[in-house]
Amino acid sequence: SPPAALMSVLATQELLLENILECIPVGEFAVIQPLSDEFCLVLGYLLTWKLTLAFFRAASSQLRVLYSQYLRRTKSLNKLLYHLFRLMPENPVFSGPTSEVPNKDTKTFFTEELHLDVK
């Protein structure tokens, strides 16, 4: 079933990300160069989580129980938090295209919508 395949992909990506981030302690953040192999792996991992949460949201209450038991048993949520805390920059300033408006608050990744363009 799609959720089982998705969980298998997630488990594989968790291992890959752990190999990339294992030397970074929580509290420090990893610098991932845009468009590098590491960047693609991290983006794939985060998009897999986005898809996992979409499945979770759309599932029946019985399936949600099974999904949450699986995520608890595999410690996937713990791993996600460890990875996020090692990937989040100390100052998440948004450097994408912005309209220059004087005296406007600094834009961050938490205030701006991210548009992913597949080319």
pLDDT tier at 112 (50, 70, 90 boundaries)? low
pLDDT, one tens digit per residue, over 74-88 is 999 899 988 888 888
Domain boundaries, the chain: 4-87
User: Whole-angstrom Cα distance, residue 55 to residue 35?
Assistant: 28
Helices (H) and strands (E) in the chain, counts: 4, 0
User: Whole-angstrom Cα distance, residue 52 to residue 44?
Assistant: 12
pLDDT, one tens digit per residue, over 49-101 is 999 889 889 989 998 898 888 888 999 989 998 888 888 876 666 555 554 54
Residue 38 has φ and ψ, to the nearest 5°, of: -60, -40
Residue 49 has φ and ψ, to the nearest 5°, of: -65, -40
Residue 7 neighbours by CB distance under 10 Å: 19
What percentage of the chain carries pLDDT values higher than 70?
A: 73
Q: Report the predicted TM-score, pTM, of the whole model to 2 decimal places.
A: 0.69
